[in-house]
Each structure stands twice: as C-alpha cells, then as structure tokens.
Amino acid sequence: MFYDYSFEKNYRKKLLKENKKFKEYIIEFESPFKKYPDEAIGFLFLPHQLKTKKALIFLHGSGNYHFSFFKNFSSLFSQKGIPTFFMILPFHYLRKKEKNKFFSDNLFEVFDSFRQAIIDTRACLDCLEKEGYLGDFSILGISLGGMIATIVSAVDERIKKAILINTAGGFVHIIWEGFLPLLRKNYKRTHHLYGCNKEKCSQIYSFHKEFVKELKDISLLGKIKPKKECFLFDPLSFCHLLKEKVEVILFFPSFDEIIPKKAQKIFEEALGYPPKYTLSGDHFLSLILNKKKIIEISSQFLLNDN
C-alpha cells in the first residue's frame, strides 16, 4: 500500500520552554520516506493540567509565512488540557530545503509529497505511542493539512476523531475552479506529459466515482488501478472510509477564494454530512477572526467522551 512505512521509533526529544500552562518539546526524526531524505520536525505541547491522554495531531496549511500563527494556534489546545503535536509538513518552515513539491507541475512529485506527509504523520503517532499516548488519537488539519489529515484518518486506524478546516477534495474543482492560477499555468504548460488540462481532467474525473466504489477497504489501495494517479492522493477518494470509524467535524469559511463551493459540497457529502460550522472571512482571514470559536468548538468535540 502506498502509505505503508517502516519506522524504528528512533527520535530526539528536547525541552524548549516551560510556562505556567504547558511544556514545549521539539521532536525530530529521520523521515521514513526515503525518496526525499529529510528530518521530520514537530513540537509537542504538554499541558500541566491534563484533561485527556488522547493526543491531538495538528497539521498546518501551506505557505511559509504563517509559522508563528499556526504554532501558537496549536499550543492553545494544550491550554485546554489536550496534549498537542504540531507537525511541520515537508517543504515548509524548518523543513524548507527546496521548492514546495506539493505545487509541482510534475504529477509524481505531488504524489510523493503527499506520501511523505502522510507517512511522517503516521510516524509521529508512533513517537507519541512511545511517549505513553496509547490508543485513540485525534487529528486537526487546515487547508492542505486538512487534505492530508483526511487521508491519514482513512489509512491509520489509530485516528478516531478528525477536525477538518477550510479544506475539501475533488482536485478537478479545486485546481480548475479555485484561485490557484500558478497551478493552472503549470499544468497547461505540461499537459502533454500528464494530460492535465481542464477538459482532460473533467473526462478523467468522470471515472472517480467508480474508483471510490471499488475502494471498499483501504487494503485495496494499490490493487485497484485508478484512471489517473491523482485519485491516489485526492482526499475525496478516502472520505467514505471515514464514515463508520472516525468522528468528523468541518469548518468552512463564509467565502473561500482558494477552494470552490462545489469542492466543499462534494467533500461534505462524501463524509456523510458531519457537523459543520461556518467561519466569517476568507480562506486565511477566517482563521484569525475565528480562532477562539475554532478552539472552543474543537476542544469540546475532543473532550466530550473523557
């Protein structure tokens, strides 16, 4: 299976600081995804007043300009008594060594970027288990992080709750209808290599429902041939696998210039219409304006069975 891995749970842990509310550690380990040699990095926030032993994995959005915001955002959950691990995605922040291959015009580089992010997230769960956090885990993902969180929730049975924020699935809509002009420009330039233009993409995605119907269990991934490799890392391909085993809540902004309404709608439908909350603002501003709302609703969701 594309998201399987081997990891010996060797990692380095160092205390960075301690205040009245939590301890902050940095955890580093060699990424189990060997194609892109790299050090995986995350920050573990341990509250002094623990309300649950079920740790939360926090996956940020794309870009390299909001590191402090996302890191602070994740730390706020520890102030609610929830142990929280803020994982840095490949090609971002402290892991930024070359161009961001999540937005490459090479289809296989994008696939491998998703594979590394998903495998690294699963390895983080291994590290947390070694730290004593056994059993159920929760995951929160924002934008790109939400796409990765969706797939992790489908492939790793340790995830029991998922909070998906300003994210969706259905690349045929996100790429060609959302505000991603750079991607469209790149794909138009290389469409002769990967068949990635709007018309061809629409034709390919007419086979997507058939692929999802055949993917009745995650163990079949890799055994069912997709019409195109992008099916293998489109969150929409995995939503149906969450319905019975993962509790989900959604947050969508009132206006999203990145992810079109159509992508939100089919994502919500594929997940079985979980509880949904609206955030005032656009794709990023909504996070700033509604941070307290997100923290309060999400913390209640995470703690309601403790």
pLDDT at 189: 64
Tokens for 269?
A: 């439908």
196 or 117: which carries more pLDDT confidence? Answer: 117
Share of the chain above pLDDT 70, in %: 94
Helix axes 67-78, 291-303, angle to 10 degrees: 40
CA 186 – CA 9 distance, rounded (Å)? 38
**Domain locations along the chain:** 12-303
Share of the chain above pLDDT 90, in %: 76
| Distance, CA of 85 to chain centre | 13
> What ranges in the chain are assigned the alpha helix state H?
67-78, 107-130, 144-155, 171-177, 181-189, 191-194, 198-205, 208-214, 261-270, 285-289, 291-303
Task: Encode pLDDT of 202-211 as tens digits.
Answer: 999 999 999 9
Coil/strand/helix, residue 162: strand
213-229 mean pLDDT: 93
pLDDT at 58 over 70: yes
- Low-confidence winner among 105-109, 228-232, 273-277 (lowest mean pLDDT): 105-109
pLDDT at 120: 97
Contact 43, 74 (CB under 8 A): yes
pLDDT at 57: 98
- The fold of the 12-303 domain, in CATH, is Rossmann fold (3.40.50)
Q: How many CB atoms within 10 Å of residue 116?
A: 26
pLDDT at 178 over 70: yes
Task: Encode pLDDT of 146-159 as tens digits.
Answer: 999 999 999 999 99
Contact 55, 84 (CB under 8 A): yes
Task: Encode pLDDT of 79-91 as tens digits.
Answer: 999 999 999 999 9
- The residues pairing with 164 across neighbouring beta strands, listed in sequence order, are 141, 250
Residue type, 237: S
